[in-house]
Structure 1
Amino acid sequence: MTKKSKLIEPGSPVRNSESGQPIMAVLDLLGRRWALRILWELRDGQRRSFRTLQDVCQMSSPNVLNTRLKELRHARVIDLADGGGFGLTESGRQLLAAMHPLSLWAEAWAISVGREDLAHLARSAKKTQPETPVEPA
């Protein structure tokens, strides 16, 4: 029997937190299998079909992809266009922009542990990073 995935919302208990704090909800969402990879593949602003996402994410299970897409749509991070194709919402673009400093830190970390060969990957990712600024609270 498979466990049914619970849709994540701020204010509702999530993995490792009964408080429902928004940061815990988003960390739970992003920590789910394939969620970050899906967002990564949509980062360039191009819409992708279900099949294309399955291929570029190298996912063998359509059920897992379908579940993640449903969760990300429910969270309003991605949407599905009337003509087809999944893409980032404005909120999704803001999320990726907010994660950009983490990407910079990860590049510095890779270099600090002797993996300079990986630094070019982070630099190429910066070229496709959305320019959406995040307003401070």
Structure 2
Amino acid sequence: MTAKDNAAVMQLFDLLEARYAVRVIWALSDGHPQTFRILQDSVGGVTPNTLNTRIKELRAALLVEHDGHGYRLTNLGADLARRLVEVQQFAGKWSQQQARVANGHPPPVPT
């Protein structure tokens, strides 16, 4: 990976690490535009000020747009949301292994 690629990854991680950023992307991943209030309910627990800040950041990053009916993911944002599904699948496997270890079972041996 080049230094430029590393910088891009770090920049994306910095954006996604902001509180509620991934939740906003996740909430919009169904493809339906959401008004501010509906998005706030979808994300859950976010203050209007924080949500407004996240939306501004995600719009500046070209991941979210407002189309007149509400906020929605751009094509780039939808691509990211599809890739986050892989993280969700990994998280399920990881959680199962964590539960096995917590219950006294050794982790599986890699083959």
Q: TM-score range by the shorter chain?
A: 0.7 to 0.9
TM-score when normalising by structure 1: 0.64
Residue-pair matches, total: 96
Q: Return the offset for 1:94.
A: 1.0
Q: Note if contact 2:20-2:46 (Cα within 8 Å) is conserved in structure 1.
A: no
Where in structure 2 are there 5+ consecutive unaligned residues?
A: 101-111
**Structure ID, larger Rg:** 2
- Matched letter for residue 34 of structure 1: Y
Q: Return the offset for 1:22.
A: 0.7
Q: Comparing 69-78 with 55-64, which one deviates more in the overlay?
A: 55-64
Q: Return the offset for 1:114.
A: 2.3
TM-score when normalising by structure 2: 0.78
Q: Comparing 24-33 with 57-66, which one deviates more in the overlay?
A: 57-66
1:43-54 equivalence runs, <5 A: 43-54=29-40
Q: Secondary structure at the match of 2:55?
A: helix
1:62-73 equivalence runs, <5 A: 62-73=48-59
Change (3 A) 1:80 1:56: same
The separation in 2 between residues aligned to 1:65 and 1:59, in whole angstroms, is 10
Q: Return the offset for 1:60.
A: 4.7
Q: Return the offset for 1:23.
A: 0.4
Q: Note if contact 2:32-2:72 (Cα within 8 Å) is conserved in structure 1.
A: yes
Match of 1:103 in 2: 88
- More helix by percentage: 2
Greater relative contact order (Cα < 8 A, sep 6+): 2
The separation in 2 between residues aligned to 1:37 and 1:96, in whole angstroms, is 10
Query: Over aligned residues, Cα RMSD in angstroms?
Result: 1.8
